[in-house]
Structure 1
């Protein structure tokens, strides 16, 4: 990593998590009252800016603490990747959650390596590919999810802070 990148990177060791916790009420009010069109216009640039500063491989909190939903196409694709029957893949790695969705049986995700790389990155679930939804309308359509994500994903925190302060 070059020095320029290091100097511009978002500091994961800062107190962003405390700030996010302290700003939950503001975030909630903002998400309820936001001008959807204005926010949606800003999201692509803010998303790009966030990921110029934040390296997911330094964090991986999402993979360490939560599970994506594994939808039928995901299960088909990943089980094929492993050359497993779908039922075998499900029995080995997944469970049904309280919403009736397939999620991983354990945390951290069994596909997360000690280096924070995903061993199935090329065939990962669509939820993982889209996460943290900072470049799409999910940020407004599912405010409770956005609020939860802001407490453990520095990119969501970054985007919300920029939206609040612009």
Structure 2
């Protein structure tokens, strides 16, 4: 069970593999930092420019990963057919920090569970 100071909920990472990557499917954006771009391009063995051209777009003036639509389902470009992250060891900081995002502190447990069944109240 993962806990973070300042959050009333915890994350049971043992359940992460059972939900078919709910956090990587649907509406939303994965915004990238400069370090994310550098790390991902190196991990994929492509230049920064090639990475930006192939895998990203501009949203609200920021760089975000593109989405793919597969079987009417919007999903992260790096989510494979088995619902596994193809860049997991070098995943973006936004992904590494999920579900410990400031804006989620005000969500109810029911709202959080719709995002991720591995989120539980801390004891």
- TM-score, normalised to structure 1, is 0.55
- Considering fraction of residues, name the structure with more strand: 2
1:97 matched to which residue of 2? 59
Equivalences for residues 6-85 of structure 1 within 5 A: 40=5, 43=8, 47=10, 50-52=12-14, 54-65=15-26, 66-85=28-47
CA distance, structure 1, for counterparts of residue 80 and residue 106 of structure 2: 26
Match of 2:103 among 142, 151, 154: 142
Residues 87-132 of structure 1 deviation map (CA, whole Å, 9 limit, x = unaligned): 111111111112x221122131111111111111111111111111
User: Are residues 114 and 57 of structure 1, via their aligned partners in 2, closer, same or farther at CA, if it must alter by over 3 Å?
Assistant: farther
Q: Secondary structure at the match of 2:118?
A: helix
TM-score, normalised to structure 2, is 0.70
Q: Give how far 1:41 is off.
A: 6.8
Kept in 2: contact 1:79–1:86 (CA 8 A): yes
Show the counterpart of 1:153.
116
Larger C-alpha radius of gyration, 1 or 2?
Answer: 1
Match of 2:86 in 1: 119
In angstroms, what is the RMSD of aligned CA positions?
A: 2.9
1: CA distance, partners of 2:62 / 2:107: 21
